[in-house]
């Protein structure tokens, strides 16, 4: 199972591994059974958005708890480069990078639609609230 593919527009062969990668990702995967590869894909299969990010954060949390270095994704005992991790998991590389960055900054849970984020009210919101309270106190109870 050679992990190279032909580009559509050219006849050159492009590797799935990053050019600067020292981990020899493709040679490691060729030693795996097809069940192992499918198992990795099934972990993240079907999850999208914040659910996928939560699965990735949980994966990194477990990796941290068992004492592994958290500067990349370690799958079956091997640290893969981002490009190859993207290939193995079926996740976008930008998602993998953003989750890793967020994890290093302390994010441990993603919530749907930014719930739980407390924002200070803007001046416009405060002005509307004051105006609305004053209007209700003046005409709220005595209106026909």
pLDDT along the chain (144 residues), means of 10: 40 59 77 82 80 88 86 84 84 88 85 66 88 83 57
Q: Does 6 reside within a domain?
A: no
Residue 50: its pLDDT value, please? Answer: 81
Q: Which helix (H) or strand (E) holds 75?
A: strand 73-75
Please tell me the number of Cα atoms within 13 Å of 85 on its side-chain side.
Answer: 25
Contacts of 91-94 with C-beta under 8 Å, sequence gap 24+, read 91/44, 91/52, 91/56
The total of structural domains in the chain comes to 1
Residue 22 lies in a domain: no
In-domain check, residue 4: no
pLDDT of residue 128: 92
For residue 12, the model assigns a pLDDT of 38
Query: Is the whole model's pTM more than 0.75, yes or no?
Result: no
Q: Is residue 8 part of a domain?
A: no
Identify the pLDDT of residue 41. Answer: 82
Q: Is residue 17 part of a domain?
A: no
Q: Please name which of 95, 90, 93, 69 lies closest in space to residue 81, comparing C-alpha atoms.
A: 93
**pLDDT for 13:** 37
Structure confidence at residue 2 (pLDDT): 39
Instruction: Give the number of residues written for the chain.
Output: 144
Burial label, 1 (beta-carbon count in 10 A; 0-12, 13-18, 19+): exposed
Residue 72 in tokens: 């990349």
The whole domain housing 53 covers 48-117
31 found inside a domain: no
CA atoms within 13 A on the CB side of 52: 20
61 domain residue, yes or no: yes
Give the model confidence (pLDDT) of 35-51 as tens digits. Answer: 888 888 888 787 778 88
Helices 82-89 and 34-44, packing angle to 10 deg: 90
């Amino acid at each position: 199972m050679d992990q190279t593919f032909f580009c559509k527009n050219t006849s050159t062969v492009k590797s799935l591994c990053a050019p600067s990668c020292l981990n020899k990702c493709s040679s490691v995967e060729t030693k795996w059974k097809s069940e192992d590869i499918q198992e990795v894909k099934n972990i993240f299969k079907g999850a999208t958005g914040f659910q996928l990010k939560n699965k990735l954060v949980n994966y990194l949390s477990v990796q941290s708890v068992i004492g592994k270095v958290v500067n990349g994704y370690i799958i079956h005992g091997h640290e893969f480069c981002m490009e190859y991790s993207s290939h193995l998991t079926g996740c976008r590389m930008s998602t993998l990078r953003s989750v890793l960055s967020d994890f290093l900054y302390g994010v441990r849970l993603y919530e749907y639609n930014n719930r739980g984020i407390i924002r200070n009210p803007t001046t416009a919101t405060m002005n509307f609230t004051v105006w609305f309270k004053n209007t209700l106190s003046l005409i709220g109870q005595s209106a026909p």
